[in-house]
Amino acid sequence: MRVAIAGASGFTGMELLRLCAGHPEMEVVVAGAETQAELPVAQAISSLAAAYPELTFSRIGTEELAGLDVVFLALPHGRSQELVPELVGKVGLLVDLSADFRLREAASYPRWYGHEHRAPELLGEFVYGLPELFGAALPGAKLVAAPGCYPTAAALALAPLVRLGLVSETSVIVDAASGVSGAGRKLSPATHFNTVDEDFSAYSLLSHRHTPEMEQAIGAQVLFTPHLAPMNRGILATCYARPATDTSTGEVMDGLRGAYRGCPFVVVTEASPSTKATFGSNCAHLTARVDDRTGWVVVLCALDNLGKGASGQAMQCANLALGLPETTGLSTTGIYP
């Protein structure tokens, strides 16, 4: 299959290039990167030199992408709204890694993203690409909106328990920490080495733009506080919910195990999840506890923000949409140490 990656020089685009290099059915023929246009991939990203000795970054438009089998859009939020309307019906499968087509309500975009949605008529055409929770709609899909790291971690932790009626749909709290790569490749004062090193900080208090996406995927009202951790990649989400009925740790764990039975990329474990255990893989690790003393249910999820939280998930969605085994080209094992 002939594949294009728009935004190929960013962290998620680079990870997609790496994953496509190990995918037996995909060949990257277009690597779009405006800031790196005409620069050889091997020169710009030395870790990919052996896989792409002749591929060159290019500027792309509709003409370059039309007729390709798969197009991954790894662009900043807002950019896909400009490109997608021109590509609908002209490519075999389009997978968008931005938040541009994840929300069902166009009215949510001005509040959380600061602008009106420029293609609201297409919001209902996209499948939300979280396979473990919404996978039934993926086979045969032509337009997929792949969720990012924070919503994926929170939804995997909480959505099954909401669906089973084990936790309340209100008073849900998500505290999650992300590695610095989650902020993207472009340097800013907040992500400079001297800022991040030896520090741990919360940001976007009460206003993080992924909040409505979490609520949509989980099916509950969420108070979300993100944190920046001094590590390259990884997400650890600690989620709190009030029980909707008398329950126990065993019942909650059984609920998670039942929800993810047969899911190759979700590990439900008694151990406390670790970001290091998921590094470089497409896996999410989950555990849960019910605290009889305070009455809270606690669910933790760890994943690689560039793997299951972005590019790996996009690849998993593409596999399912194309009728391939969902594990094709993806790893279930982390890199350690």
Give the C-alpha separation, 250 to 238, whole Å: 18
* Helical (H) or strand (E) element with 314: helix 312-321
- Determine which one of 149, 239, 301, 317 is catalytic: 149
In terms of Cα–Cα distance, which of 236, 267, 253, 266 is closest to 326? 266
Q: Which residues contact 223 (CB under 8 A, 6 or more apart)?
A: 172, 173, 174, 206
Residue in this structure with the two tokens 């685009």, named with its chain if needed: 13
SS3 132: helix
Q: In terms of DSSP H, where are the helices of 10-134? A: 11-21, 41-44, 62-65, 80-87, 108-113, 131-134
317: annotated active-site residue: no
Residues involved in catalysis: 149
